[in-house]
């Protein structure tokens, strides 16, 4: 909370100033260290397209993937709480209160879970259309911050056994394979950083 008042990661401090929010952090790093290769297009129209993707990623799939993430990882813990204990937990973080009100200690409703799946599928469909038309990356030939910011979403979905969402999307499948083959991907997802490594019970739950 001292670094990020929203109480989430990632976040970092540079020259004494906290920098928060993934997309903001990526653009900040490029502006402070503008070395080649550039991760933002020089062309204003392409840069606008990249920022439109960043807005979409923040507002749609990043929000949607929280539903299966919390349902699969934390539901058993919440079910073990009494109603009073859950309410106390829920109300302890005003910024997340609405989310935990929707989840409740018995889990998200079927309608809300299904809606999150529809939003993730809509994301895949939009990416498939763009990559087929303009690929190999979201902004054509240039690998950009848009690709970087959506990649963790696919890694999370894969950990949640949701990779079937894009199994019939060949351009997205190829895109994710190229993402995973980049040396920076291995650096980012270092041993111990994945959700299934922090919460190994998720693997057992998904197998049952």
How far is it, in rounded angstroms, from Cα 156 to Cα 94?
Answer: 25
Alpha helices of 80-164 — where are they, by DSSP H? 83-91, 97-103, 110-134, 145-159
What pLDDT score does 193 carry?
67
11 membership: H or E segment, kind and range: strand 11-14
What pLDDT score does 4 carry?
56
Give per-10-residue mean pLDDT for the chain (208 aa): 59 77 79 82 96 96 94 88 90 86 92 97 98 97 96 93 96 98 87 73 54
What pLDDT score does 6 carry?
56
- Cα 6 off chain centre by: 16
What pLDDT score does 9 carry?
60
Mind listing the domains of the chain with CATH numbers?
A: 1-35 (no CATH), 36-207 (1.20.1050.10)
52 membership: H or E segment, kind and range: helix 44-59
Question: What does each C-alpha distance from 195 to 43, 88, 192 come to in angstroms?
Answer: 37, 25, 8
**What is the value of pTM for the model shown?**
0.84
What pLDDT score does 134 carry?
94
Q: What are residue 63's phi and psi, to 5 degrees? A: -75, -40
What pLDDT score does 30 carry?
83
Structure tokens belonging to residue 206 = 């998904």
């Amino acid at each position: 909370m001292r670094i990020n008042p929203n109480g989430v990661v990632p976040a970092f401090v540079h020259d004494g100033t906290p920098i928060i929010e993934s997309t903001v952090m990526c653009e900040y790093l490029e502006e402070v260290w503008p070395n080649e290769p550039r991760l933002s297009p020089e062309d204003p129209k392409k840069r606008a397209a990249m920022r439109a993707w960043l807005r979409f990623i923040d507002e749609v799939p990043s929000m949607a993937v929280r539903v299966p993430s919390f349902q699969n990882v934390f539901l058993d813990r919440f079910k073990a709480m009494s109603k009073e204990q859950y309410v106390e937990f829920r109300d302890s973080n005003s910024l997340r209160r609405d989310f935990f009100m929707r989840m409740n200690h018995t889990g998200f409703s079927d309608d809300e879970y299904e809606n999150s799946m529809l939003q993730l599928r809509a994301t895949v469909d939009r990416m498939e259309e763009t990559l087929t038309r303009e690929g190999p990356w979201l902004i054509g030939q240039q690998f950009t911050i848009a690709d970087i910011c959506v990649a963790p979403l696919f890694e999370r979905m894969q950990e949640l056994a949701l990779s079937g969402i894009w199994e019939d999307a060949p351009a997205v499948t190829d895109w994710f394979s190229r993402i995973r083959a980049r040396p920076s991907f291995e650096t980012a997802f270092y041993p111990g950083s994945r959700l299934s490594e922090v919460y190994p019970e998720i693997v057992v739950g998904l197998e049952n």
